[in-house]
Amino acid sequence: MKKSSMAILAGMILVVTAALLSGGAMSQSGRLNVRGIGLQTPESVLYDAAADVYLVSNINGNPTAIDDNGFISRIAPSGKVLSLRWIDGRRGNVTLNAPKGMAIVGNTLYVSDITAVRMFDRRTGRQRGSIAIAGSTFLNDVAAGPDRSVYVTDSGLNPDFSPNGTDAVYKIARNGTATAVGRGASLKGPNGVTVLRDGRVFVVTFSQTGETYSLGMGGQPENVKTMPKEGARWSRRDAFRRPFDFQLGRIGSVSRRSPGEE
């Protein structure tokens, strides 16, 4: 290869790298991969339809560490990073350790954070307080209910991911009061949660048995379904398909990864 060709090639690589660093790259399938932007243990993605932006929760470290360094990124549908640390636990006026699930009700963004649910202004990112969930250990997914309530799961896990029995699904009423609508080891580590318009609550388990179920009136699992096996492992989804899932595919590379990875 001639020297001049090498120079051109080197230039091309730089352009591609710059494109990746600046946001996303559209693949032939139409999927947009956002990487190389500084995400830290990205956990979940929420589409804010009113603002037409994607919010990405970043655990940034261990999922149970009280390190106040979690952050939430704001990304445009084009893949452009509007603000990597839009909400940032490292700021003095923000408490956020290991953000996981998120949901929006009205103009409030709810974010699970180990043993509390943090609230932020959906428009400005300003913190609007926090709701401690007594007895919880590993709050995970968050979902908006039909009556402007918010549901949050507790997967009941120790820092080493062994079960500890605090398994529960909590409902936070509009006045901020949290009550368990299901509780106990029979819930098998509630992970993903979604709530239908009729109020039915569906849960995906964290456990390796790979189950989904709806919560009965007494808070017990009903309509238990086992998910298909993927190779030797059970599928262990974090979330259900929601109406905006087709859009989630546009930033498909944002998914659960090992701590420290991007």
- Nearer to Ca ion among residue 99 and residue 145 (C-beta): 99
Nearer to Ca ion, 47 or 71 (CB): 71
Q: Which is nearer to Ca ion, 72 or 75 (CB)?
A: 72
Q: How does DSSP assign the chain, residue by residue?
A: --HHHHHHHHHHHHHHHHHHHTSEEE-TTS-EEE-SS---SEEEEEEETTTTEEEEEE--S-TT---S--EEEEE-TTS-EEEEEEEETTSTT---SS---EEEETTEEEEEEBTEEEEEETTT--EEEEEE-TT-S-EEEEEE-TTS-EEEEE--B-TTS-B-S--EEEEE-TTS-EEEEEESGGG-SEEEEEE-TT--EEEEE-STT-EEEEE-TTS-EEEEEEPPEETTEE---SS---TTHHHHGGGTT-S---TT--
| Nearer to Ca ion (CB atom), residue 61 or residue 219 | 61
Per CB under 5 A, the segment of 95-103, 152-160, 180-188, 246-254 that binds Ca ion is 95-103
CB of 47 to Ca ion, least distance (A): 23
241-244: long-range pairs with CB below 8 Å, 24+: 242/194, 244/47, 244/49
Total number of residues binding Ca ion (CB under 5 A)?
A: 6
For residue 226, the minimal CB distance to Ca ion (Å) is 33
CB-nearer residue toward Ca ion: 67 or 262: 67
- When binding is defined by CB under 5 A, the residue of 98, 105, 111, 201 that contacts Ca ion is 98
Q: Which is nearer to Ca ion, 43 or 211 (CB)?
A: 43
In the complex, the smallest distance separating the C-beta of residue 175 from Ca ion, rounded to whole angstroms, is: 29
> With respect to Ca ion, which residue has the nearer C-beta, 45 or 72?
72
Tokens at 74, concatenated: 């704001």
Q: How far is the CB of 60 from Ca ion (least distance, A)?
A: 4
CB of residue 68 to Ca ion, shortest distance in Å: 7
- Give least dist CB 66 to Ca ion, A: 8
For 250, phi then psi, to 5°, come to: -70, -20
Q: Does the protein bind Ca ion through residue 115 (CB under 5 A)?
A: no
Selection from 131, 126, 128 nearest residue 113 by Cα: 131
Least distance in angstroms from the C-beta of 159 to Ca ion: 12
Q: Scanning residues 44 to 73, which ones bind Ca ion (CB under 5 A)?
A: 60-61, 67, 69-70
Sites of contact with Ca ion (CB under 5 A) = 60-61, 67, 69-70, 98
